[in-house]
Amino acid sequence: MAQAHFEFSPAIDISPQATAGNGDRPWATQARSAAATQDPTAFEIGWDHAHHRITPPLRHLHDHNPVRQGWDAGRATFGTRTLAATAAVQQWLALRLQAWQHGQLFEGVQVNPHFLTRIDAQACPVSRQVLSGDPAASVTRLNQAAAYAAGNLAVLSQQVIAARGAADWQQSMNRARSTAAGQPGDGLTADDWTRLAVLTSFATPLPHAQAAALPLRRRAMEDSWADVLVNRRWQHLAGLLNAADCERLLQRASQRDLVVGGGRWVSCDSATEGWALQLEGGLTAAHRPAVGPRRADPPARAAGASAAQQRQLTT
């Protein structure tokens, strides 16, 4: 039988004698400084794996991998003084690693373990399929031209993710129409594709007139918004108002506690902060920020565009 031997720590002594001392170990401090000029994002991912006493995937454990370097430095610094590795923490680390591997930006302040527990769902909002744990569900970006950021992430079934591929909201709406006309839907019904298109539109900056014409396919109002006459009358009403009118009305409704479930009003710029829309969510050689220090978990912000804010508050 063939055997393989993996030497995880050839260059670093993390024994209690070697690591005992004053706060942040000198070796770890030097390693972090050196890594800052190479790939600080990957280094911080490895560092946080060590902080929660989680071993990164095997493919990232070779000597020259920056994730491995961060993990080694973290182990030398923290030793056994680590934090709890909850399911949300493991999902958070895996999501950051996934974003880095695909060259996508990850907004590391708001998207934290607490945030991931808040967006967890019992059923897929698109297929209505019950999500019975991994790998039945996955956190994914709604707008694939934007970064991993609060407001752009949702839990969907693997079936929906596979069927969607790289489709944006408009392509998903086109698939809804073609499926309704009898074309194959890749495992999704016309209603599924419509829900996916509308959900994706909430994380996509759209002109007011275009956003106002989309049906609001929420679960409690599904039958009403699927009715052609209801949707036509809604579009007529929305067409009489411009974006500023809608904003004023919805702010007043929010101030008078008329928004079910509550809400917090944010500007378009604030709502899409960290989305890297100008970079289509990706990293460039000149734009590779480190994952910064953690701070107290803030409440999740509403999804991006002005139209998305308006439609969320109206429901």
Quote the distance between the C-alpha of residue 30 and its chain's center.
32
pLDDT for res 147? 93
Kindly report, residue by residue over 177-230, the tens digit of the pLDDT. 999 999 999 999 999 999 999 999 999 999 888 888 888 778 666 767 777 788
- Specify the pairing of strand 153-157 against strand 137-141: antiparallel
Lowest mean pLDDT among 1-5, 50-54, 267-271: 1-5
Query: Could you tell me the pLDDT band of residue 172, with boundaries at 50, 70 and 90?
Result: very high
pTM of the model: 0.70
Decide which of 128 and 257 is more confident: 128
Query: Could you tell me the pLDDT band of residue 49, with boundaries at 50, 70 and 90?
Result: very high
Query: Could you tell me the pLDDT band of residue 38, with boundaries at 50, 70 and 90?
Result: confident
10, burial (CB in 10 Å: exposed 0-12, middle 13-18, buried 19+): exposed
User: Across residues 232-241, what is the average pLDDT?
Assistant: 82
User: Across residues 271-292, what is the average pLDDT?
Assistant: 61
């409704």: which residue's tokens? 253
- Please determine, for residue 106, whether its predicted confidence score (pLDDT) is greater than 60: yes
DSSP states along 168-233:
-HHHHHHHHHHHHTT---TT--HHHHHHHHHHHHTTS---HHHHHTS----GGGHHHHHSHHHHHH
Whether the CB-CB separation of 215 and 223 falls below 8 Å is answered with no
- Residues 257 and 106: their CA atoms lie apart, in Å, by 33
pLDDT for res 269? 76
Lowest mean pLDDT among 7-21, 78-92, 111-125, 219-233: 7-21
Sign of the alpha-carbon torsion through 48, 51, 56, 62: positive
Count CA atoms closer than 13 A to 240's CA, side-chain side. 5
274: its two tokens: 């960290």
Kindly report, residue by residue over 137-163, the tens digit of the pLDDT. 899 999 999 999 999 999 999 999 999
